[in-house]
Amino acid sequence: MTTLTLATRWNPIDWPLTDGPIPHAVFVAGWAALFALAVGRGRSWWRFRLPAALITAAALSLLLDVVVDGWWHPFPEGTPRYVTWWIAVALLGFCLVGYRVRRLTWPRRGIALGLSGLVLLMAASEVNIGFGQFPSGRVMLAPWLTRTEGLIAPKVEQTVAAPPGKVLDEVWRPPADLPAKGTVSVVPIPGLRSNFRARDAYVYLPPAYQATPRPLLPVIVMIAGQPGVPGDWVLAGQINEAMDAFAARHGGLAPIVVMPDQLGSTWANTLCLDSKIAKTQTYLAVDVPKWIHQNLQTATGRATWAIGGASMGGTCALQLGVNAPDVYGTVLDMSGQLEPTLGTREETVKAAFGGDGKKFDAVDPLQVMARRKFPDTNAALMVGETDGEFRPQMEKVYQAVQAAGMKAKFELMPGGHGWVVFRPGIAQQIPWLAQQTGLTR
């Protein structure tokens, strides 16, 4: 995007934050600010205070790495290296201020703090570019700008279903007053069987769901990654906008998307299993489908139900696809892991099953697929082409999926690991999901 094109977009919250002139300007300003903070006068600065700032920043970065990846360990695969690097750069900016602030006047202290703020902004911008979490200010402000309400979808008497040999798109005729967009609701889905304490789920209902007669649409259950919240697929993934775009080309038809919680809290990791940690598999295979059947009018049967997710959510989707194949006939695994993990196999088995490896093998998707064939399951696997951590794992998963007899495909997306892949990835896979679940030919 050129500067001229950017200037014609009068709403600043729509300006791109991951490409174009804004992130480049932030990058240049950040390095210029860091250089200005690093340059000083006098021998004491060059001999003592600058080296001390560098050593302090390095020590703090190492300490943070030990605390996060060694003790807290919120990410099973560890913190990405580029994130660690940009955290170190931000810390260096603050350390440079700390070692020079006592000798500055109050006005210059304010300038120094402002420069360190630019360094921090640069680091945050580069991390955001890597993950693609916030492509624009509108997405960043989505939790406050996106309007969601409780589910208002009373059942109707007249419905339309696809007869044998047909798909829904071939028999559906949209009414003249069909809305242009679907709705997004936030609803509680209780864990009645699992006793899992889930956060509120998000539900997307396409335009056709608001019509009478109502088409019996397929269902896609989408799982966020870890750390994450159920609304990530709406707030960062913009799945509702992608579904609306698909519906606009198909007479208002699109899959219903239910986005339940599989974590319980942002940083938790339940592994999506029934274990000592939680009974999340029961929640996703029993409680969530039961709630959908009771509260929504949808197509029924495993052939019209899919489960998908990204990162840990992709791993979760594959797990449910092989451990609850009677519920989900289609799986979308985006940048998932080789197996559910808390770090190492030993750590995972100990935390989830008290060290009983046989119980883990009974539900580990690759182990399940080695024992059983799934010729009636459709699977799409997708990963970023530069994702050095997850691409090798996904390639092994694809081999296992093929060996298990699934109707599978494997695709590479430009980018690494994050919403820079997941957001365009889900938009690209909607037509495939619609075909596999009987919505379109």
The string of pLDDT tens digits covering residues 165-195 is: 999 999 999 999 999 999 999 999 999 999 9
pTM, to two decimals:
0.90
> Are 288 and 189 in contact, with CB atoms under 8 Å apart?
yes
> Are 413 and 421 in contact, with CB atoms under 8 Å apart?
yes
Angstrom distances, CA of residue 315 to CA of 57, 86, 272, 382, 413 = 36, 28, 9, 12, 18
Examine the domain organization and report whether 17 and 157 are in the same domain. no
Examine the domain organization and report whether 321 and 400 are in the same domain. yes
Pairwise CA distance, residues 278 & 388, whole Å: 31
> Are 385 and 365 in contact, with CB atoms under 8 Å apart?
no
Pairwise CA distance, residues 333 & 383, whole Å: 9
> Are 430 and 380 in contact, with CB atoms under 8 Å apart?
no
- The structure tokens listed for 230 are 């159920």
Domain final residue, candidates 131, 157, 184: 131
CATH number of the domain that residue 417 is part of = 3.40.50.1820
Examine the domain organization and report whether 240 and 313 are in the same domain. yes
> Are 320 and 271 in contact, with CB atoms under 8 Å apart?
no
Examine the domain organization and report whether 411 and 342 are in the same domain. yes
Domain that holds residue 25: 3-131
Q: Would you state the torsion angle of the CA atoms of residues 362, 363, 367, 373, taken in this order, to the nearest 10 degrees?
A: 100
Pairwise CA distance, residues 195 & 384, whole Å: 36
Examine the domain organization and report whether 94 and 188 are in the same domain. no
Examine the domain organization and report whether 185 and 119 are in the same domain. no
Pairwise CA distance, residues 226 & 269, whole Å: 7
Examine the domain organization and report whether 121 and 210 are in the same domain. no
**Predicted pLDDT of residue 1:** 47
> Are 76 and 316 in contact, with CB atoms under 8 Å apart?
no
The residue to which tokens 């609803």 are assigned: 187
Examine the domain organization and report whether 309 and 190 are in the same domain. yes
Q: Which residue ranges of the chain lie beneath pLDDT 50? A: 1
Domain final residue, candidates 131, 165, 197: 131
DSSP E strand boundaries for 227-341: 256-259, 305-310, 330-334
Give me the half-sphere count of Cα atoms (radius 13 Å) on the Cβ side of residue 347: 13
Examine the domain organization and report whether 54 and 91 are in the same domain. yes
**Predicted pLDDT of residue 8:** 55
Is residue 295 included in any domain, yes or no? yes
Number of separate domains in the chain: 2
Examine the domain organization and report whether 331 and 391 are in the same domain. yes
Please list the alpha-helical segments (H only) found in 377-418: 391-403
Residue 143 CB partners (closer than 8 Å, separation 6+): 231, 235
Is residue 74 included in any domain, yes or no? yes
Domain final residue, candidates 131, 160, 179: 131
**Predicted pLDDT of residue 5:** 57
Pairwise CA distance, residues 404 & 368, whole Å: 9
Is residue 141 included in any domain, yes or no? no
Residue 408 phi, psi dihedral angles, 5° rounding: -120, 155
Tens digit of each residue's pLDDT (9 = 90 or more) over 305-316: 999 999 999 999
Count the helix, strand and coil residues of the chain and give each as a percent rounded to the nearest 5.
Answer: 50, 10, 40
The vertex-332 CA angle with 76 and 206, nearest 5°, equals 120
The string of DSSP codes covering 151-218 is: ------S-EE-PPTT--HHHH----TT--SS-EEEEE----TTT---PPPEEEEE-GGGGSSSEE-B-
Is residue 155 included in any domain, yes or no? yes
Helix (H) or strand (E) holding 412: strand 407-413
